[in-house]
Amino acid sequence: MMNSRKPQPDPPPSRGRRRLLGGLAAGGLAASQATAAAELLRPLDVAPWSRTPGAPTLDHPYGVPSPREANVVRRSARAWPLPGAASSMTPLADLHGTLTPNGLVYERHHGGVPDIDPEQHRLALHGLVRAPKLFTMDDLLRLPSESRIHFLECSGNTGSEWNGPSGLPVQLTHGLLSCCEWTGVRLSTLLEEAGGLSNPLKPESGWLLAEGADAAAMTRSLPLERILDSALVVYAQNGERLRPENGYPLRLIVPGFEGNTNVKWLRRLKVVDAPLQTREETSKYTSLLANGSARQFAFVMDAKSVITRPSPGHRLSTHGYYPITGLAWSGRGTIRKVEVSTDGGATWQLARLQGPVADRALTRFQADWRWNGGPAALLSRATDSTGYVQPTRAELVAARGLNSQYHYNAIQQWRVGENGEVRNA
Ligand SMILES: Nc1nc2c(c(=O)[nH]1)N[C@H]1C(S)=C(S)[C@@H](COP(=O)(O)O)O[C@H]1N2
Ligand SMILES: [Mo]
């Protein structure tokens, strides 16, 4: 049953879109303008859903999206060969604003999604602290909490483009990226609960081992001083308790750091005086450089941006005005500016940023464009609050070589053909 009260017929989406764009077109076709004018003057129809009361409530105690949006789902770029290893990606082209709805937050699992009983779940905080602690979920919920909006990006995101344009749509090139309001307890508060660091450990020489309760027992070492003021141990995302696939009942959020360090199903934090050189910081999540050495502990996600509309799979249906919109983010702070080019980087214009521009969060940008029907190449380039400018692919490859799988943050180009088709080519 539909609940809509809009007294309008329901035009097929392509027709409605053409009508709006036809009205805005500078050099639109005369025929489509005449049709548009006729349609605007026609009295409003009374549609079937306006004639009788709709359902008092829908059949879902927990609401779900309109069935008409059934195509807006997470998707996978590849099949994974190992049991429990999987990823699914956020449909960036269909999302608006900057927050990712919980059911569309990307997923990356190394050992599947564990089914954890929150009553039995414990978080141990031990190692070089004065009074080691074992927290229940109730204990954690009784500590002062904090809510903050931060992006989460897998360092493998956009790895598909290292060797040039992959042909994939933005969901499958950039969709290991989401942004939520996370709620939990500051790491520094937990350390206070454990009596602080044991003498004589100083934060600058301290590391923190974080371990997950999943079958993969995901384990990472983190530099304590760098994360002390920002890391949160969270139990909620976007106002409700964490989804099972995002770490229920507890996960670590390390703002701006690569997704992998944001350990889900968190069961242990151990303060140590040196990194433990776990599998996920030696054989994985390091980048082999051209000179044969490896880049290790490259935690921070550098500034990056991508145009989400128009993007591959879209087709421009008429000449004239189009807003170019997308997302920008930086693990080092806020986004200072985003520039957009429609001619492959020959000229650039400043995009508008939707405020408030938050620290280590997704920022929505928008620029105006008139498509005259010729081929175009759409690019976006982010600059963050440290002055760092998103590199071209050539600059990134010159710095990192081509052995690397992780931390691809180059400028992304979408081509528009004369037929209006948008492609990653
Ligand atoms: N325990 C545990 N934590 C984990 C993982 C995992 O497999 N197990 N995957 C990591 C990776 S590689 C990423 S990118 C993020 C993904 O978080 P999400 O699934 O909530 O998007 O979680 C990280 N934390
Ligand atoms: Mo990841």
Average pLDDT rounded to a whole number, residues 123-136: 97
Asked, for residue 24, whether it belongs to a domain, the answer is no
60-84 pLDDT, tens digit each: 999 999 999 999 999 998 888 888 8
pLDDT of residue 30: 67
**Is residue 276 domain-resident?**
yes
> Which conformational region is residue 43 in: left (phi greater than 0), alpha (psi within -120 to 50 degrees), or beta?
beta
Mean pLDDT (whole number) for 359-385:
98
Query: Do 323 and 228 sit in the same domain of this protein?
Result: no
The residue among 13 and 424 whose pLDDT is bigger is 424
* Mutation pick for ligand 1 pocket among 220, 254, 262, 362 (CB with most ligand atoms within 8 Å): 262
Is residue 275 domain-shared with residue 325, that is, in the same domain? Answer: no
For residue 416, how far is its CA from the centre of ligand 1 (angstroms)? 35
Domain boundary pick from 260, 295, 330: 295
373 and 409 co-located in one domain? yes
CATH code of the domain containing 278? 3.90.420.10
In-domain check, residue 4: no
Report DSSP letters for 131-159, one per residue: S-EEEEHHHHHTS--EEEEEEEE-TTTTG
pLDDT, residue 283, reads 82
Instruction: In whole angstroms, give the CA distance from residue 147 to residue 84.
Output: 31
Of all protein residues, the one whose alpha carbon is nearest to atom 5 of ligand 1 is 109
Q: Is there a single domain that holds both residue 177 and residue 254?
A: yes
Of 82, 260, 268, best ligand 1 pocket probe by most atoms within 8 Å of the beta carbon:
260
Q: Is 278 inside a domain boundary?
A: yes
Q: Which of 325, 19, 8, 312 is nearest to 160 (CA)?
A: 312
pLDDT band at 17 (very low <50, low <70, confident <90, very high): very low
Q: Mark whether 268 and 124 lie in a shared domain.
A: yes
Angle, helices 30-41 vs 13-24, to 10°: value is 110
DSSP assignment string, 250-294? -EEE-TTB-GGGS-SSEEEEEEESS----GGGTTSS-EE-TTS-E
**Is the shortest distance between the CB of 109 and ligand 1 below 6 Å?**
yes
CB-ligand 1 contact for 248 (6 Å cutoff): no
**Residue 33 within a domain:** no
Domain boundary among 248, 274, 295: 295
Across 350-363, average pLDDT: 97
Mutate to test the pocket of ligand 1, among 110, 220, 248, 283 (most ligand atoms within 8 A of CB): 110
Residues 279 and 384 in one domain: no
The mean pLDDT value for 366-381 works out to 97
* Helix (H), strand (E) counts: the chain: 7, 23
Number of domains in the chain: 2
* Cα of 184 from ligand 1 centre, angstroms: 17
pLDDT in tens, 23-33: 444 445 567 77
**Mean pLDDT to the nearest integer, 228-247:** 98
Cβ 22 vs Cβ 35: under 8 Å: yes
Residue 61 lies in a domain: no
pLDDT value at residue 29: 56
Point out the least confidently predicted range of 3-12, 153-162, 204-213, 250-259. Answer: 3-12
Distance from Cα 263 to the centre of ligand 1, integer Å: 6
pLDDT for residue 180 is more than 50? yes
pTM for this entry: 0.90
What is the predicted pLDDT for the residue at 62? 96
Last residue within a domain, chosen from 271, 295, 319 = 295
What pLDDT score does 249 carry? 98
Say whether both 380 and 239 belong to one domain. no
- Per-residue pLDDT for 365 more than 70? yes
Report the CATH number at residue 396: 2.60.40.650
> Which domain range does residue 163 map to?
86-295
Across all residues in the chain, what is the average pLDDT?
91
Nearest ligand 1 atom to the CA of 214 is 1
Percentage with pLDDT > 70 across the chain: 92
Measure Cα distances from 199 to 227, 275, 278 in Å: 20, 19, 26
390 and 241 share one domain: no
Same domain, 200 and 339: no
* Overall average pLDDT of the 403-425 stretch: 96
Q: How much is the average pLDDT of 218-243? A: 97
Query: Token pair for residue 291?
Result: 């000179």
* DSSP output for 336-393: EEEEEESBTTSS-EEPEEPSS--TTS-EEEEEEEEE-SS-EEEEEEEEETT--BPPPH
For the segment 146-166, the average pLDDT, to the nearest whole number, is: 97
- What mean pLDDT is predicted for residues 188-195? 97
241 and 270 fall within a common domain: yes
For residues 192 and 275, state if they share a domain: yes
The answer to whether position 182 is within a domain reads yes
> Is 73 part of a structural domain of the chain?
no
pLDDT of residue 232: 98
Residues 291 and 322 in one domain: no
Distance 250 CA to ligand 2 centre (A): 17
